[in-house]
């Protein structure tokens, strides 16, 4: 792949941005490192110059104290020359009036600012007067007054990096380090002389080639290492993204069985997020979200298939029997005296169809949260009695007795919060299921329990029918789920419990199914106390 194309890919961009970041980091470190070295070198050089000025000052003081001339013995001159040849430092001995009484050279950068005055006759009071004569040639170099003391007449001062207040002409890449030290007379009161030591400071000429070559070398090595590491790591970053995009395009083509395998953690979709598997890094979360999304799509796809096959089955059976009976009555296969019996069956079947259609439309509304809930306080005991009363004919038909912990007329109201009409539906579905699945002469119990200190009540609907098989328990609240019909009867849409759970969830309440102590099924749901 060509470089330009590579840099357009996600991985190319990751690599490129890491490389740029590495380069910038390296440059910043290099600049800081260079500045650090520069500062240390300057300080060291200033210290060296201070040592020189100290040594010169000691020699000078001793000479003056002994009443000798500066040039007597000649050792000071030799010392200054030695310093010039070893360090390249300029040492000037300057009178307070600016006259240079001794030096080991004047650099060309300073020549412009130094005055050359005609030789004057030494004043008799000038203890150094005899020195001036040494210059001869009728010229004496004089430092203009601002440069003489360097700003201090009492102690030694250093100037690190610069041009000594403008004395030295600016030359690119060159700066000066200077030390000025006053020398006092024997009473330590007046400054007799100043010792100035100046030295060129040029980091570049000293270290440049070494520093640049070592920096270039280390930069290349670190960039190369960074490149290798980044390429390896970027693979880990981009692999799941690439897999995601491949999986997404497969899903877009209709293959909902695809899943992205990264990392080897699999979390199936749950209504409530499982806190124990969190947190993951962002890519893992993305991959898991994608997998869950596809899983839900796949589920809703199979849901739709189940829905269609379930409806067509549930609609076909009663429709077939209705059309069969009506046809028989029309063509005379069913004699008029038997017609009433068959009309009753037809009527029963149309009732079933109507209930089925009602359930379906209710379930669709609940799915789309299309129901306005009318939340208010109401008496749960009265609701339970109303539901039982409404189902009385079915109860009588099967001679089923109902046990409750409420005795009509005598019980105190039990106030709860919710949409009474919807909760009526929940109870109705549970109790009518209990009736449906309980044999002739069976028992149903509807009871309420208030756990101590809780803000909710638990409602129990139990029966002594065949109960729910353990393997069916996790599924009974799913849409269109019907358990083993041979055990639990034939009719039903498989929507009753789904509707009940949806309504309770919309109330922020829970429902669960289990086995009752009475032998049959037990459903428990919660309601918030008023």
Tell me how far CA of residue 367 lies from CA of 357, 372, 499, 502, in angstroms: 15, 13, 9, 8
Name the residue nearer to ligand ADP (CB basis): 377 or 403. Answer: 403
Which residues between 503 and 522 bind ligand ADP (CB under 6 A)? Answer: 520-521
Torsion, Cα 277 282 285 290, to 10 degrees, reads -170
Among 100, 132, 476, 503, binds ligand ADP (CB under 6 A): 476
Q: Is 182 in the site for ligand ADP (CB under 6 A)?
A: no
Name the residue nearer to ligand ADP (CB basis): 98 or 496. Answer: 496
Two tokens at 530? 């008023």
Which residues between 422 and 461 bind ligand ADP (CB under 6 A)? Answer: 429, 433-434, 437
Alpha-carbon span 3 to 8, nearest angstrom: 9
The DSSP output letter for 475 is G
DSSP lists the bridge partners of residue 193 as: 183
Among 481, 505, 519, 529, binds ligand ADP (CB under 6 A): 481
Name the residue nearer to ligand ADP (CB basis): 240 or 483. Answer: 483
Alpha-carbon span 8 to 19, nearest angstrom: 15
Two tokens at 320? 């077939």
Name the residue nearer to ligand ADP (CB basis): 418 or 496. Answer: 496
Count of residues that bind ligand ADP according to CB under 6 A:
23
Q: Is 497 in the site for ligand ADP (CB under 6 A)?
A: yes
Stretch that binds ligand ADP, among 91-99, 105-113, 171-179, 486-494 (CB under 6 A): 486-494
Evaluate whether 527 touches 457 at the Cβ level (below 8 Å): yes
Q: How far is the CB of 411 from ligand ADP (least distance, A)?
A: 25
Evaluate whether 195 touches 57 at the Cβ level (below 8 Å): yes
Q: How far is the CB of 395 from ligand ADP (least distance, A)?
A: 14
Q: How far is the CB of 502 from ligand ADP (least distance, A)?
A: 11
Measured over the CA atoms of residue 468, residue 473, residue 477 and residue 483, the dihedral's sign is negative
Two tokens at 450? 């208030």
Stretch that binds ligand ADP, among 47-55, 139-147, 222-230, 490-498 (CB under 6 A): 490-498
Name the residue nearer to ligand ADP (CB basis): 271 or 282. Answer: 271
Alpha-carbon span 191 to 95, nearest angstrom: 9
Q: Is 164 in the site for ligand ADP (CB under 6 A)?
A: no
Tell me how far CA of residue 306 lies from CA of 131, 303, 475, 512, in angstroms: 119, 5, 14, 24
Binding to ligand ADP by CB under 6 A, coded x per residue (else -) over 376-415, reads: ----------------------------------------
Residues that bind ligand ADP (CB under 6 A): 429, 433-434, 437, 463, 465-468, 476, 481-483, 488, 492-498, 520-521
């Amino acid at each position: 792949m060509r470089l330009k194309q590579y840099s357009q890919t996600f991985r190319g961009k990751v690599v490129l941005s890491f490389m740029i970041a590495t380069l910038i980091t390296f440059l910043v470190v290099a600049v800081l490192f260079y500045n650090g070295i520069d500062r240390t070198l300057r300080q060291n050089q200033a210290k060296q110059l201070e040592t020189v000025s100290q040594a010169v000052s000691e020699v000078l003081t001793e000479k003056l104290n002994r009443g000798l001339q500066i040039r007597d013995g000649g050792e000071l001159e030799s010392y200054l020359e030695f310093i010039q040849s070893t360090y390249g430092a300029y040492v000037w001995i300057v009178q307070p009036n600016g006259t240079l009484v001794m030096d080991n050279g004047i650099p060309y950068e300073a020549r412009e600012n130094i005055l050359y005055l005609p030789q004057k006759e030494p004043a008799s009071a000038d203890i150094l007067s005899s020195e001036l004569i040494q210059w001869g040639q009728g010229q004496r170099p004089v430092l203009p007054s601002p440069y003489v003391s360097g700003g201090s007449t009492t102690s030694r001062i250093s100037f690190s990096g610069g041009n000594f207040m403008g004395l030295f002409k600016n030359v690119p890449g060159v700066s000066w380090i200077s030390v000025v030290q006053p020398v006092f007379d024997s009473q330590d009161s007046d400054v007799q002389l100043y010792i100035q030591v100046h030295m060129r400071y040029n980091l570049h000429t000293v270290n440049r080639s070494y520093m640049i070559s070592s920096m270039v070398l280390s930069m290349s090595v670190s960039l190369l290492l960074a490149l290798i590491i980044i390429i390896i790591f970027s693979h880990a970053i981009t692999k799941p993204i690439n897999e995601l995009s491949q999986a997404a395009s497969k899903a877009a083509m209709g293959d909902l069985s695809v899943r992205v395998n990264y990392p080897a953690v699999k979390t199936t979709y749950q209504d409530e997020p499982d806190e124990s598997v969190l947190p993951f890094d962002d890519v893992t979360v993305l991959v898991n979200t994608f997998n869950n999304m596809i899983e839900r799509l796949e589920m809703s796809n199979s849901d739709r298939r189940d829905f269609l096959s379930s409806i067509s089955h549930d609609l076909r059976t009663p429709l077939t029997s209705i059309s069969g009976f009506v046809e028989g009555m029309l063509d005379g296969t069913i004699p008029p005296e038997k017609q009433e019996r068959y009309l009753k069956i037809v009527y029963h079947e149309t009732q079933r169809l109507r209930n089925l259609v009602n359930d379906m439309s209710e379930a669709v509304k609940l799915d789309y949260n299309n129901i306005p809930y009318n939340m208010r306080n109401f008496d749960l005991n009265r609701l339970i009695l109303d539901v039982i009363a409404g189902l009385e004919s079915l109860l009588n038909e099967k001679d089923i007795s109902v046990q409750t912990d409420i005795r009509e007329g005598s019980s105190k109201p039990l106030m709860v919060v919710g949409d009474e009409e919807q909760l009526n539906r929940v109870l109705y579905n549970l109790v009518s299921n209990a009736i449906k699945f309980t044999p002739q002469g069976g028992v149903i119990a509807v009871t309420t329990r208030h756990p101590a200190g809780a803000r909710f009540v638990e409602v129990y609907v139990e029966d002594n029918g065949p109960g729910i098989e353990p393997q069916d328990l996790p599924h009974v609240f799913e849409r269109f789920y019907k358990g083993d019909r041979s055990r639990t009867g034939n009719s039903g849409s498989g929507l009753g419990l789904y509707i009940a759970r949806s309504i309770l969830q919309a109330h922020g309440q829970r429902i669960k199914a289990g086995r009752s102590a009475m032998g049959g099924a037990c459903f428990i749901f919660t309601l918030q106390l008023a």
